[in-house]
Each structure stands twice: as C-alpha cells, then as structure tokens.
Amino acid sequence: MSFFRPSAREADVGLVLLRLATAAIFISHGYQKLFVYGFSGVTGAFTHMGVPLPGITGPLIALLEFFGGIALIIGLLTRLVALGFVCDMLGAILLVQLKSGFSHYELEFMLLAASLTLLFTGAGRFSIDALIADLQARNL
C-alpha cells in the first residue's frame, strides 16, 4: 500500500466504501420520508420550508433518496444517481439550510462532496455499472 498513489484496486475499494456510506445515509432519509411521513407529510414539510413545487419535489426527493441509495449500493446508474443527489443537496443547502450557517448544513455539504466525487469517478470496478460497461465493450 502506497500512501501517495493508491493502486487501482485500492481506489475501487475506496469507491465501494464511499458508495456504501453515502447510500446508507440517503436510504435512511428516504425511508423516513416515504414510510414515516409519507408523501403528504413530506409535501407539508417542504411547503413549510419554502421549497418550490413541494407537491412534486417532496415525493421526488423521497423516491430519489430511497431508491437512489439502493442503486448506489450495487453501483447501478451511479453517475445519474449522483447527479440527482448533487441537485438534492444543493437544494437542501441553498433553499433551506444556508441561512442558518455552515454548522447547520455540514451533513448536506459532506453528502454533496461525496455525490460530486461519485459523479466524476463513477462507481468503480466493483459495481453493476462496471459489469455493464464490460459487456458493452465485448459486444463492440
């Protein structure tokens, strides 16, 4: 193990760990929105927070966080899911948390950074995305 340049395998393991940690948080928050508050509760909360189009964005975010988190675990459509999470966290920061100061959006900021990393890198070798890419390369 080099402390200055990780091997490809070490980088791929790092991406798996990043995907799993990020997914766990998003799934937890999505689960709460879907199965504890429900669409009407999420819509009400988004309305109260001043989020635009709360009847659409609330349920959409709940579905994105829960099912996007599951997709991250297996590394399916990782870049697309990560783009959705980037938009989700930018909205959370800019529309809801920013006025309260950085200490109120540290989690959202970290999730934004993790999502941006996955957007730029993809899922890595240990993912469904990599299997699909390998199959496509063999069929060319």
Write the pLDDT tens digit of every residue in 36-93.
999 999 999 999 999 999 999 999 999 999 999 999 999 999 999 999 999 999 999 9
What's the pLDDT score for residue 60?
98
Nearest-angstrom CA–CA distance, 105 and 136: 40
What's the pLDDT score for residue 140?
74
Residues, the chain: 140
User: What is the number of other CB atoms lying within 10 angstroms of the CB of residue 138?
Assistant: 7
Cα torsion at 6, 130, 19, 54 (round to 10°)? 140
> Tell me: the pLDDT tens digits for 94-110?
999 998 888 889 999 99
